[in-house]
Homo-oligomer: A and B are copies of this chain.
Amino acid sequence: MTEELRDHDVPADAGASPGVAPVVLGRELSDAELARTLAATVSTGVLSTMAVDHPGTPFGSVGPFGLDGSARPVLCISELAEHTRNLRADPRSSLLVARPFTPDGDPLAGPRVTLLGRSELVPDDDVAEAREAHLAGNPHAAYYIDYGDFSLWRLEIEAIRFVGGYGRMSWVDVAGWRAAEPDPVAPIATGAIDHLNADHAEACLLMARHLGQRPDATSATVTAIDRYGLDLVATGPDGPGRVRLPFDEPLTEAAAVRPATVTLARRARQAASA
């Protein structure tokens, strides 16, 4: 994997706040893990195919999908649709997976992944598994999956482009994508973050001060939680700065967030009173 952290070309007068250098302790989710986590929570992508009626022009269309056991997207598409005609003429295609674009959120701030390769009709022997994989991602297909004009196709991935947000992007290798697990904490992360900030602000501040090398911090806000640890923004006299704290070991289920954060809080209190 080629990790790329690039800087935008910011005008000199843009007035970015200086802030405090980040403190990053322990492992973080890889781009492969971030991409698999995204694809586990989003079940409609955009399929790009080659427009058979407009040679050389790529054609985007709505592509509900599920992932099969080899992390290949499985689509259920109709012979009535342009993308199916296109794929029958040229299998080269990609699937973009992104969070829903809401009017309020900045669409470029969130993660997205483009899976590039060749789409093929699912071979007969694999149809049962592919059908299950598609329906698991897209239950609406139950209404039409057995219609005569719909078939299951799968994307054989050859390259993967991940963008984590502004300035963070990489090519993820396909074996790494297959091997990566979606973060088991993702489904409850937002709730856990809200709970920590609402009910345990004092403990979070102690974590930043005594575990996160920010003894000057006067406030701390949790901004992310994943299987490997949590992110805080700790603010002190010199401004805000990121603090990343690891859990003792990677969590294997969402329910493990609570004891893992209790452990961090206890350790921070012990350090504070030592």
Binding site for B on A (CB under 8 A): 6, 8-11, 14, 42-51, 53-54, 56-62, 64, 78-82, 90, 92-96, 98, 100-103, 106-109, 112, 114, 116-117, 138, 140, 143-144, 146-150, 158-159, 161, 163, 166-167, 169
Contact = CB atoms under 8 A, between A and B. Distances in A.
B80 A6 contact: yes
Given A48-B58, A64-B107, A147 B8 contact: yes
Contact of A62 (B42, B78, B108): B108
Given A8-B149, A44-B101, A112 B61 contact: yes
Contacts of A56: 50, 90, 92
What 7 pairs across the A-B complex have the smallest Cβ distances?
A58-B58, A9-B148, A60-B96, A48-B58, A44-B101, A100-B100, A106-B140
Contact of A11 (B95, B100, B146): B146
A220 B45 CA distance: 36
B48 A78 contact: no
Nearest to A106: B140
B62 A98 contact: yes
A96 B46 contact: yes
A58 B92 contact: yes
B101 A59 contact: no
Given A8-B78, A57-B158, 6 more contacts: A11-B146, A54-B116, A56-B92, A57-B94, A100-B100, A107-B140
Contacts of A103: 43
B44 A114 contact: no
Nearest to A50: B58
B49 A80 contact: no
A96 B107 CA distance: 15
Nearest to A51: B116
